[in-house]
Chains A and B, each alone.
Chain A
């Protein structure tokens, strides 16, 4: 474990979890998991379905509260009661399927929850012009060139939607960006585009938590890996300590390896 070393090296990390656990009734969803997220680094959480990845990020994002252990933001122990609270501390989460509201326009989605407003007599009204222009600029800053920010987000491709959500988090000054399976539903090319934005966000000095079950997506962008299996940490590695084959082997675990490798080859082959 290099957790303690990392912590000492950089002072207070953006996020630090120590031995957190969570139970839903009698089901232990997560037990004794520790990791750290630093500025400009990508912490990758890997695991198969039901490994506890979602539970962990829901704790970080303020959707659920941890039952045991310690969760620190910039050195200060916290227990968020709502996603809004996590957002106020600079922790933004982009969810796999529910990053956006499909029927709403791109710019309305971009500013959802933090709408720009201006005075109109005694009222505060939406500043639609600023909204549209800022959205367009923020997206093009990240290299996303959209035709029309008034179009419903539902008309964008899956990758574009993830990018809108990532650009939104970056624009609103997130310090930590949590990405839940951003590449899961995407084609190979689209996944590559999204990973590029992930690397770009880290390069801008954000701490990124990337959740995935695909080591091939995780390895190129990650600084650190946290492997989860059945709610417990299987291991925590710096990138220098592990290569992709070992990572894949650890994730699959011995006998399942061959089947998984086969599966991965199928995933990596463009259809």
Chain B
């Protein structure tokens, strides 16, 4: 029975089925999930597919998506940042305090909060790399510290737990046009944050797949020791990733403060897990070395569609959590299967 084998075929080349090829793409699971959620809510509610409905769920997904892309890059690099959620509030507070209390121009205040964010991100990365401790515990520390700082400083400066009054500051309208304006498409106002989200996903994907730095991100997350052995600057790469997450936190914080003109000191707490969930739904492995920026952006889209779809369907919003839990478990199981496929060792 072995004699009749067709001679032209190399026994090692199995015809790569379309399924096998798709399976290698980390974002494919999220894409299928997004289509299912989209079709589901389009069918059962009227508003979901309307232009104003789409503007609502896209807006909901946008700021989450910006963060999810940055968090995905960090997770592919093998680290977590639990301070990412509270960072969006910290940067907004810094901007607001400098602009409203000290009377600085908004652009200058934004610059100060950007420097602050990059410093905290750099510190996170430096501490993780210097101590070799899990980033989970290190950034849990910075998360708690920032949370305390947000409330403490805000109370000291304003006597309340919020900073407001951004509208009367210098440069509010010009900065607002960049971070918090709306774009009119066919009579419906779409938030400009949606464009930032798309830009973040595009830049994230481009850096990951087309640049040397992207190669290093996969490498340090896949195996930091191997990467170091072939000369990849592991410390620099990871610190830059933490700074990227902090930068995204600054971007989202700036979008929020310029849009709502005020900020609560306890804002952002708990959001860090949503970012991680969106990234995981988008195909990121918790162990690092595998994932996709576009996938994370799609993960955020699923979030936004489900959260607003449930509102449109007039269901109790508690159902959202059930949906989220099921979605996360499904994503982790799928990702795990993919990883085994890619990592399996033949001897």
Interface residues of chain A, those whose CB is within 8 Å of chain B, are 61, 63, 83-84, 87, 93, 95, 98-104, 108, 111-115, 117, 120, 123-126, 128, 147, 152, 154-158, 168, 185-187, 190
Instruction: Report the Cα distance A106→B155, complex, angstroms.
Output: 55
Q: For chain B, residues 219 to 233, give those with C-beta under 8 angstroms from any C-beta of chain A.
A: 219, 222-223, 225-233
Cross-chain contact A115 with B219 (CB below 8 angstroms): no
Name which residue of chain B comes closest to A86, CB basis. B231
The 10 closest A-B pairs by CB, nearest first: A101-B222, A113-B231, A113-B230, A154-B343, A98-B226, A84-B231, A115-B212, A152-B342, A103-B289, A101-B223
Given A104-B219, A156-B346, is A124 in contact with B211 using a C-beta cutoff of 8 Å? Answer: yes
- What separation, in Å, do the CA atoms of A100 and B227 have in the docked complex? 8
Q: Say yes or no: A187-B219 contact (C-beta < 8 A), given A124-B212, A154-B342.
A: no
Q: Are A155 and B346 within 8 A (Cβ)? A: yes
Number of A-B contacts (CB under 8 A): 98
- The answer on a CB contact under 8 Å between B227 and A157 is no
Residue pair A101, B226 in contact (C-beta under 8 Å): yes
* Residue B218 interfacial (CB < 8 Å): yes
Contact A154 B345 (CB under 8 A): yes
| Size of the chain B interface, CB-CB below 8 angstroms | 30
Residues on the B chain within 8 Å of A103, using CB: 218, 222, 289-290, 339, 342-343
On chain A, the residues within 8 Å of B211 by CB distance are 123-126
**From residue B321, how far is it (CB to closest CB) to chain A in Å?**
32
Q: Are B229 and A155 interface neighbours, CB within 8 A? A: no
Contact B215 A185 (CB under 8 A): no
Q: How far is the CA of A63 from the CA of B218 in the complex (A)?
A: 22
Residue pair A113, B232 in contact (C-beta under 8 Å): yes
Residue of B nearest to A114 (CB): B231
**Residue pair B222, A83 in contact (C-beta under 8 Å):** no
Contact of A98 with B343 in the complex, beta carbons under 8 Å: no
Q: Residue B226 contacts which of A95, A152, A157 (CB distance < 8 angstroms)?
A: A95
The answer to the question of B1 belonging to the interface, with a C-beta cut-off of 8 Å to chain A, is no
- Decide: A155 and B347 in contact? CB cutoff 8 A: no
Is there an interface contact between A61 and B226, defined as CB atoms closer than 8 Å? Answer: no
CA distance A104 to B217 in the complex (A): 11
With both chains docked as a complex, state the minimum distance between the C-beta of A99 and any C-beta of chain B, in angstroms.
7
**Does B12 belong to the interface (CB within 8 Å)?**
yes
Q: Which of B13, B214, B233, B289 contacts A101 (CB 8 A)?
A: B289
Q: Does B344 contact A (CB under 8 A)?
A: yes
The 27 sampled A-B contact pairs (Cβ below 8 Å) are A61-B229, A83-B230, A83-B231, A84-B231, A87-B231, A95-B226, A98-B229, A101-B218, A101-B226, A101-B289, A102-B222, A102-B223, A102-B343, A103-B218, A103-B222, A103-B343, A104-B215, A104-B222, A112-B230, A113-B232, A114-B230, A125-B210, A126-B211, A126-B212, A154-B342, A154-B343, A187-B347
Give the complex CA separation of A83 and B229 in angstroms.
Answer: 6
Task: For A120, list chain B residues within 8 Å (CB).
Answer: 210
Residues of B within 8 A of A152 (CB): 342-343
User: Which B-chain residue is minimally distant from A152 (CB atoms)?
Assistant: B342
**What are the residues of chain B within 8 A of A108 when measuring CB–CB?**
215, 218-219
Considering the complex, give the chain A residue whose CB is closest to the CB of B223.
A101
Cross-chain contact A112 with B225 (CB below 8 angstroms): no
What is the bound-complex CA distance between A190 and B345, given in angstroms? 14
A98 to B215, CA, bound (A): 17
Which residues in chain B, 3-40, are within 8 Å of chain A measured between CB atoms? 10, 12-13
Give the nearest-CB partner of B339 in chain A.
Answer: A103
B347 CB to closest chain A CB (Å) equals 5
B19 to chain A, nearest CB (A): 16
Interfacial chain B residues near A187, Cβ < 8 Å: 347
